[in-house]
Chain A
Amino acid sequence: QVQQSGSELKKPGASVRVSCKASGYTFTTFAIHWVRQAPGQGLEWMGWIDTNTGRPTYAQGFTGRFVFSLDTSVSATYLQINTLQAEDTAIYYCAREYRWNYRQYFDYWGQGTLVTVSS
Chain B
Amino acid sequence: QSVLTQPPSVSEAPRQRVTISCSGSRSNIGNHAVNWYQQLPGKAPKLLIYYDDLLPSGVSDRFSGSKSGTSASLAISGLQSEDEADYYCATWDDRVNGVIFGGGTKLTVL
Partners in one complex: yes
Q: Which residues of A contact B (CB under 8 A)?
A: 33, 35, 42-45, 47-48, 57, 59-60, 93, 95, 102-107, 109-112
Residue from the list B32, B39, B56, B90 in contact with A103, Cβ < 8 A:
B32
Residues of A within 8 A of B97 (CB): 57
Per the CB 8 Å criterion, the residue count for chain B at the interface is 26
**What secondary structure prevails in chain B residues at the interface with A?**
strand
Q: Indicate if the CB atoms of B44 and A33 lie closer than 8 Å.
A: no
Distance (Å) between the CB of B7 and the closest chain A CB?
13
Q: Is the interface of A mostly helix, strand, loop or mixed?
A: strand
A43 and B47 within 8 A (CB): no
Point out the residue from B44, B88, B99, B100 that lies within 8 Å of A111, measured CB to CB: B44
Cross-interface CB contact of A105 among B44, B47, B101, cutoff 8 Å: B47
Residue pair B101, A45 in contact (C-beta under 8 Å): yes
**A110 — which chain B residues lie within 8 A by C-beta?**
44
Q: How far is the CA of A36 from the CA of B6 in the complex (A)?
A: 19
Tell me, yes or no, whether B63 is within 8 Å of chain A by CB. no
Q: What are the residues of chain A within 8 A of B50 when measuring CB–CB?
A: 105, 107
Complex contact B44–A104 (CB within 8 A): no
Q: Taking the nearest CB of chain B, how far is it from the CB of A32, in angstroms? A: 13
B2 at the interface (CB under 8 A from A): yes
Complex partner residue of B104 from A43, A103, A105, CB under 8 angstroms: A43
A35 neighbours in B (Cβ, 8 Å): 45, 101
The answer to whether A107 touches B47, judged by C-beta atoms less than 8 angstroms apart, is: yes
On whether A59 and B96 interact (CB within 8 A), knowing A43-B45, A105-B51, the answer reads: yes
Q: Known: A93-B45, A111-B44. Is A106-B98 also a contact (CB below 8 A)?
A: no
12 contacts between A and B (CB under 8 A): A42-B101, A42-B103, A43-B37, A44-B101, A47-B98, A59-B96, A102-B32, A104-B92, A105-B50, A106-B35, A106-B47, A109-B45
A residues less than 8 Å from B90 (CB atoms): 43, 105-106
